[in-house]
């Protein structure tokens, strides 16, 4: 029997019908055995968000990420096709690319200078430098970079999966495509990721981060300083302020709570939504595009696009946050 089958999964739930208690046990967030299974069956078997096409917009661009515990390299070749590989040289397994993103005509291993093109094909394994001791029947044909199971893009968002027997990306995304569409369709030109990123290490379980992104209760307590700063700015600058501050106090409760809720989008995906307190100051309204959006998508959908904020968790590793600002 495998180690997986020896785990008593019921021990990770507290189910006391007499007391009306049904909740996760804390060890579900701390047990290394569960974490190992999550890496194995969730992050290394499911589709994961990798990057946005605008981050590898030019030919010979690359971007590096991790898929679970596996280092992965995403490239765009000179013909414009996107590829995904394990970020390891096929010679001795050394990490091939050590920087987060950039542009290269060739990928050269820092260990023995094995050289690959952006399609992952092995171009040179030292033979160009002279006699390296390979036998006469040695061939480079099967020593290209190891491809990940699959890589696809939806509306500019690039996803990959290590398991080549996984479902299709369309099946995985399911209802989240509506949320992605509502974000991308706000501009005729689509989306572009602006240069720069904020990175940090979270010393805790990944599930807590996933839950936090759709936790609508902590705004006032955790982000209280932000709420007060915006309130003071609004009070002091008032109508003189050309950049209209969002009345986040209304989102935190206020005197008249705004409509808000959740959508279960299936496959682990979930969206938190709320009525935007000052929708008239959002770009679609300020830019005068709402009539065009209404004509194209209908009044109800247009209102949800321009009048509501949305935090969409695309399970298991990315949030699309369309609120005070738009972030991934």
Query: Could you tell me the domains of the chain?
Result: 48-167 (2.102.10.10), 176-327 (3.90.380.10)
Locate all alpha helices (DSSP H) within 145-272, ordered by sequence.
Answer: 169-173, 176-184, 206-212, 219-222, 224-237, 248-251
- Distance separating alpha carbons of residues 44 and 162, to the nearest angstrom: 6
The DSSP code sequence of 279-302 is: GGGSHHHHTT-HHHHHHHH-HHHH
Please give the mean pLDDT across all residues of the chain. Answer: 89
Q: Higher pLDDT residue, 140 or 243?
A: 140
Query: How many CA atoms, within 13 angstroms, populate the side-chain half-sphere of residue 169?
Result: 17
**How much is the pLDDT for 3?**
59
Could you tell me the pTM of the whole model? 0.90
The pLDDT-based confidence of 220 (bands split at 50, 70, 90) is: confident
- Distance separating alpha carbons of residues 254 and 40, to the nearest angstrom: 44
Span 278-290, average pLDDT: 81
Lookup: tokens for 264:
């279960």
Give the gyration radius of the chain's Cα atoms: 24
- Distance separating alpha carbons of residues 194 and 246, to the nearest angstrom: 22
The pLDDT-based confidence of 291 (bands split at 50, 70, 90) is: very high
Span 174-186, average pLDDT: 96
**How much is the pLDDT for 297?**
94
Sheet holding 115-116, edge to edge: 107-108, 115-116, 122-124
């Amino acid at each position: 029997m495998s180690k997986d089958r020896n785990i008593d999964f019921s021990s990770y739930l507290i189910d006391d019908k007499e007391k009306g208690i049904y909740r996760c046990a804390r060890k579900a967030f701390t047990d290394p055995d569960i974490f190992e299974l999550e890496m194995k069956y969730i992050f290394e078997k499911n589709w994961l968000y990798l990057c946005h096409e605008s981050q590898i917009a030019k030919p010979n661009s690359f971007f590096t990420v991790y898929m679970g515990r596996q280092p992965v390299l995403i490239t765009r070749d000179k013909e414009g096709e996107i590829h995904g590989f394990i970020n390891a040289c096929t010679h001795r397994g050394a990490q091939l690319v050590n920087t987060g993103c950039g542009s290269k005509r060739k990928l050269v291993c820092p260990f023995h200078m094995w050289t690959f093109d952006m399609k992952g094909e092995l171009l040179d394994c030292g033979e160009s430098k002279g006699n390296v001791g390979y036998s006469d029947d040695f061939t480079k044909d099967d020593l290209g970079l190891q491809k990940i199971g699959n890589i696809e893009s939806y509306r500019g968002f690039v996803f990959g999966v290590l398991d080549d027997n996984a479902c299709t990306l369309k099946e995985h995304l399911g209802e989240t495509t509506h949320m992605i569409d509502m974000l991308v369709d706000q501009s005729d030109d689509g989306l572009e990721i602006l240069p720069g990123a904020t990175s940090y290490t979270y010393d805790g379980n990944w599930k807590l981060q996933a839950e936090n992104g759709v936790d609508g209760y902590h705004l006032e307590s955790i982000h209280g300083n932000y709420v007060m700063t915006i309130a003071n700015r609004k009070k002091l600058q008032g109508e003189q302020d050309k950049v209209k501050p969002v009345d986040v106090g209304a989102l935190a409760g206020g005197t008249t709570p705004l409509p808000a809720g959740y959508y279960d989008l299936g496959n682990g995906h979930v969206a938190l939504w709320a009525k935007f307190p000052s929708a008239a100051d959002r770009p679609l309204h300020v830019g005068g595009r709402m009539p065009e959006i209404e004509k194209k998508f209908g009044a109800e959908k247009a209102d949800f696009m321009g009048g509501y904020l949305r935090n969409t968790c695309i399970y298991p590793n990315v949030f699309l946050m369309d609120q005070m600002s738009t972030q991934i």
